[in-house]
């Protein structure tokens, strides 16, 4: 997981401005990770088990 993985979400965030609520990138890790304002890396397992 690195900042470049969020490039698309950051571009969307910039394009939408205040209409952007939050961006989520699912990954195979085990910890919820903040990646800047409104951007998060979320474990894929959260889809089945919750956070």
44 to 7, 25, 48: CA distances (angstroms): 19, 9, 8
Do 3 and 35 meet the contact criterion of CB atoms below 8 Å apart? yes
* pLDDT > 90 in the chain, percent: 86
The domain limits of the chain are 3-49
What is the pLDDT, as a whole number, of residue 51? 65
Q: How far apart are CA 43 and CA 27, in angstroms?
A: 5
pLDDT tops 80 at residue 7? yes
Which tens digits make up the pLDDT trace of 11-51? 999 999 999 999 999 999 999 999 999 999 999 999 998 76
What is the pLDDT, as a whole number, of residue 6? 96
pTM: 0.84
36: left (phi over 0), alpha (psi -120 to 50) or beta: left
């Amino acid at each position: 997981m690195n900042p470049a993985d969020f490039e698309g979400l950051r571009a969307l965030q910039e394009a939408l401005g205040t209409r952007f609520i939050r961006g989520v990138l699912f990954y195979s890790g085990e910890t919820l990770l903040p990646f800047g304002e409104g951007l998060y890396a979320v474990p894929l397992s959260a889809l089945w088990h919750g956070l």
